[in-house]
Structure 1
Amino acid sequence: MSFNSIPSKASLKPRPFTAHVSDEDLESFQTLLRHSRIGPKTYENLTANVKDFTHLGISRQWLEDAKKQWETQYDWRKTEDRINSYPNYTVAIEDSGFDFEIHFIALFSKKKDAVPLTLLHGWPGSFLEFLGTLDVLREKYTPEDLPFHVIVPSLPGYGYSNGPPLDQDFDVQGIARVVDKLMVGLGFGDGYISQGGDIGSFVSRVLAVNAEACKAVHLHLAIGISKPDDVTIESLSQEEQKGLERYNNFNEMGNAYAREHGTRPSTIGLVLSSSPVALLAWVGEKFLQWSDVSPPLNEILDSVSLYWFTDSFPRAIYPYRQFFGPKPSFFHPDAEWHIKKPMGYSWHPKELAPVPKDWVAKSGNLVWYRGHDEGGHFAAMEKPKLFVKDLEDFVEEVWPMVK
């Protein structure tokens, strides 16, 4: 079935895109992977338990096994086929004097009242996080009855999108401007909903505050929100209190990677561009640690391979300077980023920062909430059916308020 009917009101002219790595680049990668060494055994990498924020990081055994599978069993061409089974596009968008080339996957509906919805990833994610969600939607609906227009962009600097500018200190607010221009330019200037996790949650928050066409937001990460003065720890449920322990462990022992991204992005960008095994260790750790049930290894390899083949790791970590750089300038408690438009929040127990509902409510107009007993940081990737159900219920309740 075809979901490629771009709305007639679109002012942008998206061009069809096909994901493809050349045979030469694929062979070069495979050669480099074979010759990439794994470091020597140490007490640390022999006892590491990545599911525990306090215990030393990725294990050498996991890295050795993952490298072997990447070398001998993994097939990037199958991943390309899956990507290309969906309508893919690139489109030119100008911002701040710079020409972005933005990639996105879409499921366009033929329903006249379909709700425009953009799904925004973060790091170490990508548009690949949402393929399971698109699978669910494509199996459940036809183009004639799909209730949403679903737009999944590669954020500037990620995946098949270029940028950010080499002569500008680009930021989250810039990402939001580009996403808004994409949605408005696709014909959704009368209104759309933004959904985000990780960096996408910050972008969604900026869209809710700054973009007139963004009418509501749904989040599954609300990191950075502090305990309100009028909410006691004792008033929280046992599940929320346990979630706060996980949040505290992340703050104390789990965010060294983010401080490196924020304070030494040049160094870590160059280091992880030199070896696929180094990139696998850095990215793989996060997928293992931040998920409820560890994703299948092939899904982790998909994400690491995309970062490698697009050379996107060094150009994707710029937002961290706003959170962990020398002068942090963006955190949710700031009054500037209080959301007045309708906001939804899905809580998952193994999110890296499972912030309690009452805390989130202090940061915006929380009109919809659902707590789950499973799931982690990569909600759409880990639990696509739950994720789709949350979206369907949130949109059904909120869209009549804002359209």
Structure 2
Amino acid sequence: MFLEHLSLTDFRSYEHIDLALKPGVTVLVGSNGLGKTNLVESIGYLSTLSSHRVSADGPLLRFGTERALIRAQLVRGEQKVMVEVEINASRANRARINRANPIRARDVLGICRTVIFAPEDLALVKGDPSSRRRFLDELLVVLLPKHAATRSEYDRVLKQRNALLKSARAAHFSRNGVGEGHLSTLDVWDQHMADAAAKLLEARLDLLNRLRPHMSEAYAQLTDGSKLLRAVYRSSLDAELDDAGLPGTAVEPEDLSLSSLDELREKYVAALAASRTRELERGMSLVGPHRDELELLLGAAPARGYASHGESWSVALALRLASFHVLGEDDHIAGNQPILILDDVFAELDTQRRRKLAAMVATAEQVLVTAAVGEDIPAELVGAQLQVIPGAVVSHAD
């Protein structure tokens, strides 16, 4: 897959811009603050309906405007498809495919596949567990768009259950105490929670099993290979069952991958029952995928807190490169390889890592690179260069 044409209206700093692109490597060069990242951010948004820089849509709208429009002409093998996403300040976002009638924005998920590596990705290594959970869930949605509904359902159930727990906690501290009504309603929401949590956990574990070999290989290629990169999924489910001393719990985190969906559901029901007293005391859900951790290990030590700055960059790169390969393996349509975006990456890498990364990505169908100065781009990554100036993009030939 490659992006042939990008059009933005009132997106970030751009009132309007049209950009023609070709397969292969394209480098967007320009001083910081001129909008290079805004361009690649818009392409990434088409893939996940979220930004790699901010958690809300508001900052994506040009200041003073009520909507932004991203329009992209994509080429997949012999087919062309136009995708449009309208980001709105005061109503639900909408989308169109090939200029047809408006549809829900999430109905375009899976059409544009991208993998973005950016400075913010250091949070995948150094940040809190929410960064790594988001990494898994966003990749899930790109790989299998049906999991947008899986995530949405889990978030909905979690919100409702937390509201009930807070209400029950408030009642506990009042003269009434926790009533039978609260407890019976909580029993119902425990079932909903177990079902939604089991589906999300099963999807994450399956994805992680596909990522692991590519992560280890990518890290070895980016470094001298003296340390092995591994990933271990730490589930709040196992922790709660172990604390309760219940039979049949997993001794090792990896054993969860061997559980069926029904088995995971049953384990969640047991874990929620075991944690009920503590949850009522705190007024929040203490078990579920929202409390899980993807632990990254270099050798025997956790990468978080122990990896050097250079090692942390290599780990983050390995995660994104593994994502690229997993999406490529899932390519059931000719020409559906994801678009690879490297946003201001090379300035942070030493010469050796620059050259290794360039060699690893040069054969991708389309690679979009941003850089403040062209000299940061390794010679191995040859391609077209475009100059980003205030409000526009021009080729060096212009």
Which category describes the TM-score, using the shorter chain as reference length? under 0.3
When Rg is computed on C-alpha atoms for both structures, the one with the higher figure is 2
- Greater relative contact order (Cα < 8 A, sep 6+): 2
